Amino acid sequence: MLRQVLHEGLRTSFHKLGHFVANHPVFFASAPVLISILLGASFSRYRIEENVEYLLAPKHSLAKIEGNLVDSLFPVNRSKHTLYSDLQTPGRYGRVIVTSRRGSVLDPHHVNSVLKVSELSLE
């Protein structure tokens, strides 16, 4: 009894839905395209942030304020005759990608190696 009622209810609802889609084909053909365009438009603002100081330091940190002060007091020569490498001020940051051929990167041996690299970079 319940199965028959459920079957008839689903059958009539999907029948009405099919009629509605058939009567409005332009909407159901164009709506997914428009939604995809609107959602894909956000990728036009996508950019990769490579400034490590921006990623790690708080917005109003003392390090950023002092860095801006140093940049204002000692401007970088940005003429055409200087090398591009002279313009970069990377700071005291470095990036290391740790991989492991066997096992996990979180194994004690690998963790100790990462800590040794970290201690060497602080010297």
**Every domain of the chain and the residues it spans:** 1-45, 52-121
Q: Which pLDDT value is given to residue 11?
A: 95
Q: Which pLDDT value is given to residue 77?
A: 64
Q: What is the pLDDT of residues 55-71, one digit of tens each?
A: 878 888 887 888 888 88
With a CB cutoff of 8 Å and minimum separation 6, the contacts of 110 are 98, 100, 103, 104
The low-confidence residues of the chain, meaning pLDDT below 50, are: none
Q: Are 53 and 67 in contact (CB under 8 A)?
A: yes
Q: Which pLDDT value is given to residue 78?
A: 61
Q: Which pLDDT value is given to residue 75?
A: 75
Q: Which pLDDT value is given to residue 34?
A: 93
Half-sphere exposure of 122 (CA within 13 A, CB side): 6
Q: Which pLDDT value is given to residue 62?
A: 85
Q: Which of 64, 68, 62 is nearest to 53 (CA)?
A: 64
Q: Which pLDDT value is given to residue 87?
A: 52
